[in-house]
Structure 1
């Protein structure tokens, strides 16, 4: 582990150096484009000198194109990939210098830096230079998200970064979503070996519901096929006949087949036999109309109209003492679990179509859950876990809670109680690793999990409820 850690540390430091080098390539090209002279790498000298200046953006200049081609030839990479690297390097070194310093020190990974830059783009004004106000917003965003990045994986950082960026965004998510919907589309990418990737760019609530429905239907079909295979095997054993060779399909295969089935396309083998067993097809056809996609949404009360039907199949986070604020991105946002903030119209649409709801009252200062009230008949502890944990509590894992096991931190056999202070979500894989992989975990009073690996390295995971509802620092600078 020490060997691996040392390699990771040096790799991160080299990545920070590469970012600065790529940014310097563009600075030299820009100076040449403007007829100026730039200082040496790492120096504080400003571009100086006199000469002929050319009009137009530097990216279209001969100097920049020549520099990109030079780097591409040296590294044996495509010019497009080099240009993307340079653009990313300029963005990070000029807008998130502290992130680059943290990367150099090995405190964060390149993936953390990418998440911070990608999520923070909504803070600026597209096509316009940064103003002092935007720089102030971005500085607060960088400080808050970088602090979190030092504690979690890039996968866990992404929804938090989107949440914080939304608070300091120049334009509200409602306006951006309305404009972005005009770009929804479906496209095809060939993948070789007679295969292809079919892609769809859709509103996130609809895309997640479609995927959830396909998954549940695929799991149902897989169970039907397994039952049919067992019946055939038992019949063959009774009659002494030869057992037919049938290749079972995985859930991923069935999910893909179902998508095509929905569009009216039948898959057949070379001899004309259907790859979907008749019994499974019949069962699926019967169940299709009764299967619904699951979308877990946290709807802030500010996004709900007073005349909405009170039957809401969603979590509503109610702040008993909300701070009044104005300006884009200032008010609390509704969220789609695992994806980040969503527009108010989308939150209302999902909430209004549901059949029941869970009301959550939180402490606005700390994010602690004060009360959970549900109109859905379920155990109180399960409701609280759904809000508090939201996903698997293993470091770096975001498996949704409804697909996780409820684990006793201290096993019942060892005297552990069935209480909120001793319960947590763990996906099936990490549940097994926890019990049989040499890991240890302690649940602290604030529901933080402190994990100890077999090599005695400690990692903490904070409950999602505290991350979602806690104040993220001083008010936005506007």
Structure 2
């Protein structure tokens, strides 16, 4: 991000806003510095707890003394003094210890105001399962991304970086998470309740996309006039209605056990009740048809799951993880199951170094360019916006009426709100090449935004041979059947 422009170089209309943005930026930097100080004090508090434990053990040699009392004493003291919960203080202590002992460069970036507390937390959380020998490289790449990304964007990308550096954490995480699948309900206010489903990410993403498509189909089928038959529900309300109708009227398919662990046989089912609830619920939502949409043909809408997977991984020659759009890295086993069942593949040709999508090869050429843009951008490209590309619009960076071409180098995905803002305000956008965009605000601050594929590849060069080189060097019999 570029620094502030001198007031005398600005249009007078934007001087006050520029001054306000400068003050807000300075305030954020000062808060980040204070958060760095708090992290060091929290690490000091943990050292104090360790000394108190050692003192108790020295005072009572030979006795079995736990260390929970010194910890609880410090947590209670800090929580009471700061008027926050002990769980909040516990989180501060853990993050502080990680920053001081493991992520020193992140701590310094926080102290300098380059990142904020949420960026630091994202780096810590995504790297928690990494081995010590890759953490330095992980931190370097994550901080490189943090300079231009929001905290949620960094959290997603940091998980992908961690998975690329240590692919085994994806499979380990899947095994742990699969055992925890369950369905819960929570009572809310005014007669509402919340249904919570924990299930494999690919299934949940497919459920959400299918329910959303059904809800959108109901909107398009509603009469345009305000009659008693019109549908003035919001998209969220229609999603909820479709979901309830699927669960109340549908029946699970015979494949309800498809989410069960792979070592189960047809004659055994040692799933817990929570796990069976989750599997049945996913099956209902992915295969059932809502009664309320019988006239709208909602039952014909199938789930859509978008996954970016390296060809070498799919062929069994590499272990680089695939990326589930809207979630993050997923395990290879799930990817191969999805690939085997996919009715259509979209083969995206990418640059061998930057991984920028360059060309799309599909059987049906209609909508070809838009699918290429969706593969490159994934979400609205406005800095900080995360609306999916499939529900956003393709914008001509240089307007068509001004001679702008309809091509990937002059198009970017923007959600409807940011598309409107770009055309109705003094914001400007410029393509930098390689899938990167530069947004310039009315106060003439510049914000770089890299396409996700470029961001995830940054720093890979030099760490190991590129995928295309490994493909050429591999000893592989191309007459063998595909491993999926």
Q: TM-score, normalised by structure 1?
A: 0.78
8 Å contact kept, 1:185–1:200 = yes
**SS at 2:204's partner residue?**
helix
Kept in 1, the 8 Å contact 2:354–2:434? The answer is no
The structural deviation recorded for 1:439 is 0.6
- Deviations along 1:119-142, one digit per CA (max 9) or x if unpaired, are 11121xxxxxxxxxx323111100
In structure 2, the CA distance between the partners of 1:340 and 1:54, relative to structure 1 (3 Å rule), is: farther
Q: Which residue is 1:98 aligned to?
A: 105
Distance 1:102 1:186, change over 3 A: same
1:24 matched to which residue of 2?
44
Output the aligned Cα RMSD.
2.8
Partners of 2:123 and 2:430 in 1: CA distance: 30
Question: What is residue 355 of structure 1 aligned with on the other side?
Answer: 343
Tell me the distance in 1 between the aligned counterparts of 2:458 and 2:37.
35
Unaligned runs of 5+ in 1: 37-49, 124-133, 234-245, 267-279, 307-323, 326-330
What is the distance in 2 between the residues matched to 1:56 and 1:474? Answer: 52
Report the counterpart of residue 431 of structure 1 in structure 2.
Answer: 419
Quick check: which one's helix share is greater?
2
Following the alignment from structure 2 to structure 1, what is the Cα–Cα distance between the partners of residues 101 and 64? 21
Which of the residues 23, 26, 33 maps onto 1:6?
26
Aligned to 2:156: 159
SS at match of 2:232: coil
Q: Which residue of 2 aligns with 1:147?
A: 144
Q: How does 1:33-432 map to 2 (within 5 A)?
A: 33-35=53-55, 60-123=67-130, 134-169=131-166, 171-227=168-224, 229-232=225-228, 248-264=232-248, 282-284=292-294, 286-304=296-314, 331-432=319-420
After superposition, the C-alpha distances for 1:205-245 in whole angstroms (9 at most, x for unaligned) are 10011111111111222333454x53559xxxxxxxxxxxx
Deviation at 1:286, TM superposition (A): 4.8
Aligned residues: 405
Note the C-alpha offset of 1:433: 1.0
Greater shift, 453-462 or 385-394, is seen at 385-394
* Structure-2 change in CA distance of 1:106 and 1:418 (3 Å): same
Structure-2 separation of matches of 1:53 and 1:365: 61
Conserved? CA contact 2:374–2:389, under 8 Å:
yes
In 2, Cα distance between the equivalents of 1:53 and 1:2?
59
CA contact (8 A) 1:303 1:347 kept: no
Matched, 1:451 2:435: no
SS in 1 for 2:188: strand
Secondary structure, counterpart of 2:463 in structure 1 = coil
- Structure 2 Cα separation of the partners of residues 356 and 300 of structure 1: 16
Name the CA distance, whole Å, in 2 between partners of 1:464 and 1:391.
9
Q: How many angstroms apart in 2 are the aligned matches of 1:112 and 1:264?
A: 42
Residues 222, 231 of structure 2: 8 Å contact kept: no
Contact kept in structure 1, 2:187 and 2:193, CA below 8 Å:
yes
Partners of 2:223 and 2:79 lie apart in 1 by: 52
SS of 2:412's equivalent in the other structure is strand
SS at 1:35 equivalent: helix
User: SS in structure 1 opposite 2:384?
Assistant: coil
Give the Cα separation in 2 of the matches to 1:55 and 1:375.
Answer: 73
For 2:346 and 2:187, locate their aligned partners in 1 and report how far apart those are by CA, in whole Å: 44
Cα pair distance change 1:189/1:53, threshold 3 Å = farther
Q: 1:55 to 1:145 in 2, by over 3 A?
A: farther
Indicate the residue corresponding to 2:478 in structure 1: none
**SS of alignment partner, residue 183 of structure 1:** coil
Task: Using the TM superposition, give the Cα deviation of residue 470 of structure 1 relative to its aligned residue in structure 2, in angstroms.
Answer: 5.2
* Alpha-carbon distance in 2 for matches of 1:56, 1:92: 32
Measured in 2, the distance between the counterparts of 1:419 and 1:383 equals 12
Instruction: Report if the CA contact (8 A) 1:12-1:109 is conserved.
Output: yes
In structure 2, do the counterparts of structure 1 residues 3 and 471 end up closer, same or farther at CA, with 3 Å as the change threshold? closer
Residues 449 and 461, structure 1, Cα contact 8 Å, conserved in 2:
yes
Is residue 170–residue 331 contact of structure 2 (8 Å, CA) maintained in 1?
yes
| Offset of residue 404 of structure 1 | 1.4
- Per-residue CA deviations over 1:91-144 (Å, capped at 9, x if unaligned) read 232221211111111101111111111111121xxxxxxxxxx32311110011
Unpaired runs of 5+ residues, structure 2, are 1-20, 251-289, 465-484
Three-state SS of the structure 2 residue aligned to 1:121 is: coil
Deviation at 1:57, TM superposition (A): 9.4
